[in-house]
Structures are given as structure tokens and as C-alpha cells.
């Protein structure tokens, strides 16, 4: 299923994504900053969120000749565990708090920088929960967003892949965000939708 993201003609050709580790530089402040959250069981770092992260880095920094770079990136630091329901729930709770902390800390350091949030699988859920509120027990109301409105105003775009909430990419057959049994579907979002997500973010940043 493809969500109705904005079609853009602004990028006719896009550079290939870099295979290097994303740059992290917060002083002096960049114009744009990416906070990316990896999927369940991925080792610390960017995990599958690296594909879109590098697409964004290479696009905005491509031939810019600026120092510091126009855009920087950092990974959300959280467990990303999920061997069972209890472990997954604890990981999501910790991860949601990490999103709030890292986003708020960066905003305090660089209040004029536009932040792009990208989450893959469990990483998408913790970003969703931080921005939209944590769901309670079945039949209860969703709590208020954990990220303050002032900080949310500096969020230029949100891309969630393989997450059950918010605007996101979730294909039929995905066993985690849909009713499927094909794990490979869950692992291919960056490859399949990376450039579509890139166009969405560029549209949000340049137009929105």
C-alpha cells in the first residue's frame, strides 16, 4: 500500500546513497537534522533506517560546498529488543523516552534547525508514540503527545516504515504491521520506497 505522498518535480535526478556512516555534527548547527530509529534486533546504530538517512544526507549535502554540512544525522539510542511481548513493550517504552530526550535536547541546542524523524519498524512505533501519545489499555484514550508543541513545530517531516501507526509504508504480506507471513516484505521498505520517502521529505522541507 502506497500512502498519498506529495508528487514533486523538484528532483529530476538524485545522487546515489552513500554507503558511509552518516555524519553527526551539531555545532555549529546545520539547517536540517535527521533522527533515525532502527528496527527490532538491529545492532546499535541506524539499522535499516540507514538507507533513507544516507539518501537524505547525500541529496542535501551533494555538491553544496558548505561547512558545516547542510544536514546531519544521529541514531536514536534505545534497546530495540523484542524476543517476547514484555521485552518488546519495555523496549518501546525506553525508546519513546529516548526520542523525546534526543529531540528535545537537539532542539534546545539548535532551535532553528528543522528536524526530520525517520523510524523503521519498532523505530517507527517509538517515534509515533512520542509525537502522538502512548496508547493505553484497550478501550482507553491515547495519552497526550510526549513531545512539546514548541519542539514539534521544528519537525519538518516524519517517515515511518513498517510501523502500524501514523502515515507510513506498510505493504500487504508484512507480518509486523499487516496481516502477512512474509518477513522479507518487512525488510525491503528502504529499497522499495526510499526515493519516494526522499521526495516526500524534500517536499515538506522546501514547500511546507
CATH number for the domain that contains residue 81:
3.40.50.1820
Residues 36, 49, 121, 168: which is the catalytic one?
121
Q: Which domain covers residue 137, as residue numbers?
A: 32-206
121 as an active site residue: the answer is yes
89 domain-assigned: yes
What's the first-to-final CA gap in the chain, in angstroms?
A: 24
pTM: 0.69
Q: Mean pLDDT in the chain?
A: 72
- Any idea what the Cα angle at residue 162 is, between residues 156 and 167, rounded to 5°? 40
Exposure string for 189-208, b = 16+ CB within 10 A, e = fewer:
bbeebbbebbbbbbbbbeee
172 domain-assigned: yes
pLDDT for the residue 150: 54
15 domain-assigned: no
4 domain-assigned: no
> For 25, phi and psi rounded to 5 degrees?
-150, 120
> For 174, phi and psi rounded to 5 degrees?
-70, 125
Residues 91, 168, 171, 186: which is the catalytic one?
186
Distance CA 123, CA 37 (A): 4
Please check the confidence at residue 112 and state whether its pLDDT lies above 70: yes
Exposure string for 8-40, b = 16+ CB within 10 A, e = fewer:
eeeeeeeeebbeeebeeeeeebbbbbbbbbbbb
167 domain-assigned: yes
DSSP H stretches of helix in the chain: 50-61, 85-109, 122-132, 149-152, 183-187, 189-206
Please check the confidence at residue 31 and state whether its pLDDT lies above 50: yes
23 domain-assigned: no
* Portion of the chain with pLDDT greater than 70, in percent: 63
64 as an active site residue: the answer is no
Q: pLDDT-derived band of residue 12, with 50, 70 and 90 as boundaries?
A: very low
**Structural domain count of the chain:** 1
181 domain-assigned: yes
Amino acid at each position: 500500500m502506497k500512502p498519498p505522498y506529495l508528487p514533486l518535480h523538484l528532483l529530476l535526478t538524485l545522487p546515489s546513497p552513500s554507503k558511509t556512516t552518516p555524519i553527526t555534527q551539531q555545532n555549529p548547527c546545520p539547517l536540517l537534522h535527521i533522527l533515525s530509529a532502527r528496527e527490532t534486533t538491529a545492532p546499535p546504530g541506524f539499522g535499516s533506517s540507514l538507507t533513507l538517512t544516507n539518501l537524505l544526507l547525500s541529496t542535501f549535502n551533494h555538491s553544496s560546498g558548505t561547512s558545516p554540512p547542510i544536514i546531519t544525522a544521529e541514531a536514536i539510542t534505545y534497546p530495540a529488543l523484542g524476543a517476547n511481548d514484555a521485552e518488546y513493550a519495555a523496549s518501546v517504552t525506553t525508546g519513546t523516552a529516548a526520542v523525546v530526550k534526543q529531540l528535545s535536547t537537539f532542539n534546545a541546542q539548535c532551535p532553528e534547525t528543522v528536524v526530520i524523524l525517520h523510524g523503521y519498524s519498532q523505530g517507527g512505533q517509538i517515534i509515533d508514540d512520542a509525537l502522538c501519545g502512548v496508547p493505553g489499555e484497550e478501550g482507553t484514550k491515547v495519552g497526550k503527545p510526549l513531545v512539546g508543541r514548541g519542539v514539534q513545530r521544528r519537525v519538518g517531516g516524519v517517515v515511518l516504515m513498517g510501523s502500524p501507526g501514523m502515515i507510513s509504508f506498510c505493504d500487504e504480506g508484512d507480518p509486523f504491521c499487516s496481516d502477512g507471513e512474509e518477513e522479507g516484505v518487512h525488510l525491503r521498505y528502504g529499497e522499495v520506497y526510499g526515493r519516494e520517502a526522499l521526495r516526500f521529505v524534500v517536499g515538506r522541507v522546501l514547500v511546507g
